[in-house]
Amino acid sequence: MGLLDLARRLTGRAAGPQRRAPAPQFAATAPLPPPQPFVPTMPVTPQATGDEAGEAGKAPPQPDAGRFFVYATGRECSSGKALDDAERAVLRNLELLLQAPGSILAWIPRPPAVLPRLLACLRDDDASLREACALLHADPYLAAEILRLANSARHQHGAPVTDLERAATRLGVDGLRRAVSSSLLRPLFDARREPVLALALPRLWAHAQSKSGWCQDIAGEHGVDSFDAYLAGLTHNLGWIGALKALGRAGVGAAPQYSRDFVQALSRCSERMFACGAEQWAVNDSLSRLGRVLSQRELRDCDDALARVLCEADARATEEVAAA
């Protein structure tokens, strides 16, 4: 059974944050499953009563860079440790890289050029499969994935299909969404040779899956389109690819402990790398706008509605996966 065959439609997502099931954990050497596909949902605004009303009045959780870093890398983060020369060198190198946004895509590769139009085409359940197939013909990798998935044990009913149109019909809109969503995270699959990422990758992946689910859950509370929020949560950790690459290539990736100041600065660098990528990927207008916002301000300080959703989802995902 292939990786894409392991993806399954999200069902039964609870309205209350406390009811979410923990995100799966993966061994460092285990193959990564594809992202959970987006499932359109209607915004739900439950009526809070009693203790729930008190919970609703609390400020949303804020991301904890230190806790996330410890979870993702397995290394310690100490507020009592001073920023050392090696850490300063990593941050200087990242700052130089961020001053040349065009070079970011060498660290965080661009998703397929056809992706924006495909996502727009598949946004609704009544999407045109004919139009989607016309776009898929422009990306041989995606076309091959569609054919492979259509001929998998899960979907095969009758003779194998070799025609892309018949394969798309067999999968339907939801199956196509699953394959297209997985292509967004294709850069993650290419990062295994990096010394730090090789260990952090499975945990970054589990965190991204959790975060995209939280984004979808809480989007309606902020008046944000759930699909836009889902994509933001799914791609946000791509910024950590560049940050952890820099850490590994500097030869300090095996340090047993890092200073909290360094981890906070590294987290901000990862946000800025994601921002550069999001602007250049042009996946959709919302993601591009989010990139422009995060290039100027830290996620926790942004007033943008999608940024607020992502901020809360990031914090909740860290709580979820770190506690599992």
Burial of 10 (0-12, 13-18, 19+ CB in 10 A): middle
Please give the Cα distance from 232 to 177 (Å, whole number).
Answer: 15
Residue with tokens 């990786």: 3
CA gap 206, 28 in Å, rounded: 11
* Burial tier of 196 (Cβ tally within 10 Å: 0-12, 13-18, 19+): buried
Please give the pLDDT value at position 269. Answer: 95
pLDDT for 193 equals 67
pLDDT of amino acid 26: 38
Distances, alpha carbon 7 to alpha carbons 2, 32, 174, 219, in Å: 10, 11, 11, 23
Classify 5 as helix, strand or coil. Answer: helix
Query: Could you write out the DSSP letters of every residue in 190-217?
Result: T-TTSTTHHHHHHHHHHHHHHHHHHHHH
Q: How far apart are CA 73 and CA 77, in angstroms?
A: 10
Task: Quote the pLDDT of residue 4.
Answer: 33
3-state secondary structure of 76: strand
Q: Could you say which DSSP state residue 15 is in?
A: S
Q: What DSSP state is assigned to residue 60? A: P
pLDDT value, residue 143: 86
* Mean pLDDT per 10-residue segment, the chain (324 residues): 34 40 42 53 44 59 94 90 91 90 73 75 76 86 84 74 88 80 61 74 89 94 91 89 86 79 96 89 86 94 96 97 88
| Distance separating alpha carbons of residues 150 and 131, to the nearest angstrom | 18
Number of Cβ within a 10 Å radius of residue 311: 20
φ and ψ at residue 169, rounded to 5 degrees: -65, -40
Task: With CA atoms as reference, report the closest residue to 182 among 99, 256, 111, 274.
Answer: 111
pLDDT of 91 reads 94
Two tokens at 232?
Answer: 């933001």
Whole-prediction pTM: 0.76
**In the chain, what are the helix, strand and coil shares in percent, each to the nearest 5?**
60, 0, 35
For residue 189, what pLDDT is reported? Answer: 54
